[in-house]
């Protein structure tokens, strides 16, 4: 069901037909100026809802200071079958409702004032609300939370997309079930992941917690969720700092215009199919395991000046990668490595091929000499 400019259904004098929609599975609310607070009574009635879309509701802010529902447990039970949530261009939204544990997809776009992905009753919004996350206090507070079912948030979440949420400074307690992370043009500094449940929360403290000057000499090591298949980080300055360990499940890695990332590593080599590293000025090291590039089909390494040369195992794979965009000095390596294959595959006279090889080799060596000197 799609409701556009649906002011009759929300607000103090609204109609209350929601009890008739207990079989409703999809609801889209668009351009509703009367929607100011999360409609808890409506959520109570929509017990079968699987997909919820709310967009262009410019006055929606979130919960009232004194929620109408007296019981925290009752609030958590709202929308018990919800699997997909999309919030788009809600300019005043500051606070989330208490999303049910059944959620599999969360997409939040252009909610520029949103401060937390959790409602206050879920216990984590206070840790980051109004905070710049400039100190390593958040992970300590997270690890100190009691290990109760209330603190295992979004246990079924598989896909998380966050775009243009400039006030969202932290994304906490991402579950092991997560397969896709897409974040762009946001101010997220802290991104914490659960590895194998709550007991390992402290091990995966965060992908970036700015370090004090006393510990700045040592690089932080950060882990991702064990089932992650796709990670895209675009223009999130300062979010990835130090060493990022890639899970074996990872197939797509796309990081662009993100400073602070120094090294990509993996204890168990990932089988990457798509690797895009663009304008990562501090990145200096890539995985050096053949398995990491064996299935690579797309490759881009542009504007990463600290990566002086490619790992040898990646150089050997360049000829078999279908689509690639590399800076000139990497392309030179590729041409040089492919010269023997050029000779073997061409049917031109041997003296002509010798001349081609000689010219190409001199060009490549001259190119290297210019770069190295």
| 265 and 337 share one domain | no
Flag whether 41 is in a domain. no
Flag whether 291 is in a domain. yes
What does the pLDDT read at residue 353? 45
| 286 and 332 share one domain | no
Indicate the residue among 289, 310, 326 that finishes a domain. Answer: 326
| 196 and 295 share one domain | yes
What does the pLDDT read at residue 196? 56
| 372 and 266 share one domain | no
Flag whether 150 is in a domain. yes
Flag whether 151 is in a domain. yes
Flag whether 79 is in a domain. no
| 301 and 334 share one domain | no
| 356 and 235 share one domain | no
Give the chain's domain count: 2
| 213 and 311 share one domain | yes
pLDDT tens column, 202-248: 333 334 444 443 344 356 777 888 999 999 999 987 787 888 999 99
| 318 and 355 share one domain | no
The CATH number of residue 318's host domain is: 3.80.10
Indicate the residue among 326, 342, 357 that finishes a domain. Answer: 326
Indicate the residue among 302, 326, 350 that finishes a domain. Answer: 326
Per-residue tens of pLDDT for the chain, all 373 residues: 555 556 555 655 555 666 666 788 999 999 988 889 888 888 888 889 999 999 999 999 987 545 544 444 444 468 899 999 999 999 999 999 888 999 999 999 999 999 988 766 554 444 444 444 443 434 443 444 444 333 446 899 999 999 999 999 888 888 999 999 999 998 887 777 776 543 344 333 334 444 443 344 356 777 888 999 999 999 987 787 888 999 999 999 999 998 889 999 987 777 899 999 999 999 999 998 888 899 999 999 999 999 999 999 999 999 999 999 999 888 655 444 444 444 444 554 544 444 444 444 444 444 444 433 3
Flag whether 208 is in a domain. yes
| 225 and 335 share one domain | no
Flag whether 126 is in a domain. yes
Q: Domain limits at 313? A: 115-326
Flag whether 232 is in a domain. yes
| 366 and 283 share one domain | no
Q: How many CB atoms lie within 10 A of CB 178?
A: 23
What does the pLDDT read at residue 219? 62
| 255 and 369 share one domain | no
| 358 and 272 share one domain | no
């Amino acid at each position: 069901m799609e409701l556009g400019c649906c002011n009759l259904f929300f607000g103090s004098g609204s109609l209350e037909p929601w009890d008739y929609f207990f079989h409703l599975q999809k609801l889209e609310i668009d351009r509703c100026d009367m929607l100011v607070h999360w409609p808890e009574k409506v959520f109570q009635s929509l017990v079968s809802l699987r997909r919820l879309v709310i967009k262009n509701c410019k006055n929606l802010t979130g919960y009232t200071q004194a929620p109408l529902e007296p019981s925290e447990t009752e609030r958590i039970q709202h929308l018990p079958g919800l699997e997909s949530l999309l919030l788009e261009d809600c300019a005043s939204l500051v606070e989330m409702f208490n999303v049910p544990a059944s959620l599999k997809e969360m997409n939040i776009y252009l909610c520029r004032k949103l401060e937390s992905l959790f409602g206050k009753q879920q216990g984590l919004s206070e840790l980051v609300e109004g905070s710049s996350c400039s100190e390593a206090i958040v992970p300590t507070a997270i690890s100190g939370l009691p290990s109760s079912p209330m603190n295992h948030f979004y246990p079924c979440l598989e896909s998380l997309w966050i775009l243009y949420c400039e006030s969202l400074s932290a994304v906490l307690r991402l579950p092991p079930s997560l397969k896709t992370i897409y974040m762009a043009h946001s101010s997220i500094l802290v991104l914490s992941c659960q590895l194998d449940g709550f007991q390992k929360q402290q091990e995966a403290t965060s992908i970036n917690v700015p370090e004090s000057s006393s510990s700045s000499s040592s690089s932080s090591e950060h882990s991702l969720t064990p089932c992650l298949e796709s990670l895209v980080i675009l223009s999130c300055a300062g979010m990835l700092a130090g060493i990022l360990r890639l899970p074996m499940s990872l197939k797509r890695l796309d990081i662009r215009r993100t400073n602070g990332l120094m090294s990509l590593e993996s204890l168990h080599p990932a089988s990457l199919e798509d690797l895009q590293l663009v304008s990562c000025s501090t990145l200096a090291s890539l995985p050096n395991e053949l398995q990491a590039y064996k299935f690579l089909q797309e490759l881009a390494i542009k504007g990463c000046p600290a990566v002086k040369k490619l790992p040898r195992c990646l150089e050997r794979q360049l000829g078999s990668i279908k689509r690639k965009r590399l800076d000139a000095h990497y392309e030179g390596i590729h041409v040089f490595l492919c010269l023997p294959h050029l000779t073997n595959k061409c049917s031109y006279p041997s003296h002509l091929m010798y001349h081609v090889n000689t010219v190409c080799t001199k060009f490549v060596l001259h190119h290297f000499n210019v770069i190295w000197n």
